[in-house]
Amino acid sequence: MNVVDKTNTKPSSDDLSPQQKDAMKRWVETLFEEEMKKREAAHTPSMAIIATKGTLDMAYPPFILASTGAALGWDVSIFFTFYGLLLLKKDIDAKVSPLGNPAMPMKMPMGPKWLQDMNITLPNAIPSLVPGFESTATALMKKTFKNKGVATIEELRELSIEADVRMLACQMTVDVYGFKHSDFIEGCEYVGAATFLPEAQKADVTLFI
C-alpha cells in the first residue's frame, strides 16, 4: 500500500478563500505598480529627429526641440538628410522663402509698433516676380528674431552640441551631392538609414521635420 506524504503537498489557488485571493491580487498589483515606477524613474527618455529641410524657417524646429530635450536630460539625436544636411555645414547660408508657403506672414522688424505687429501676407506671384525678394525676406526674419531675443541657428546648433545631442549626417546624401566630410562641422557621425532606423524605433519620441 502506498502512503502519501501530505506534508510536501503545495496549496493551490483553489484552497484559498475569496478574501485571500483578493488580498493576493492586491499584493501582486501593488508590487507590479512599484516595479513599473522604479523602471520609469530609472529610464532616460530619448528623442530621434529627422531633419530634411535646409531653409531658415525649417532650421529652427530641429535645433530648438533637440536643445530643449537635451536640457531636460533626454538622449537626443538628429538625422540630417537631403536638404537638411546643409544645416551641418560649417557656414550655414539658410534663407527663407515665402514662395510656396502662402501661410507664412511677413513681419516688419522696424517702424511703429502697429506696423511691426502686422502680419503681411503676400500672394505667391509677388515673391516670384520681385528680384532679391528671398534675400529681403531672410533679412527681415533674422532681424525680427533678433528683436525678439531668439538665438541664431548657429547658436542653437552649438547649444545642442554642448548638450551632447548626436549630429547624424546621412552618408548617402553626402555622396549624392558630392560633399566632403571636411565641409561639415566637427563631431558629426556619418551613418545610413539602416543605422538610424533601429535607433528611431527605440526612441520614446520620433519627429519628422
- Give residue 96's pLDDT: 77
Angle at 52 between CA 143 and CA 152, to 5 degrees: 25
- Give residue 140's pLDDT: 75
How would you write the pLDDT of the chain (209 residues) with one tens digit per residue?
555 555 555 555 567 778 877 777 787 777 777 777 776 666 789 999 999 998 888 899 999 999 999 999 999 999 999 999 999 999 888 887 666 555 555 555 555 665 556 555 555 545 555 556 677 777 777 787 787 788 888 999 999 999 999 999 999 999 999 999 999 999 899 999 999 999 999 999 999 98
- Tell me how far apart the terminal alpha carbons of the chain are, to the nearest angstrom: 79
- Give residue 124's pLDDT: 53
Name residue 207's beta-bridge partners: 49
Domain 48-208 sits in CATH at 3.40.1260.10
Whether the Cβ atoms of residue 188 and residue 167 lie closer than 8 Å to each other: yes
Using a 10 angstrom Cβ sphere, with 0-12 exposed, 13-18 middle and 19 or more buried, the burial of residue 179 is middle
Largest CA distance in the chain: 108
- Give residue 108's pLDDT: 56
The pTM assigned to this predicted structure is 0.69
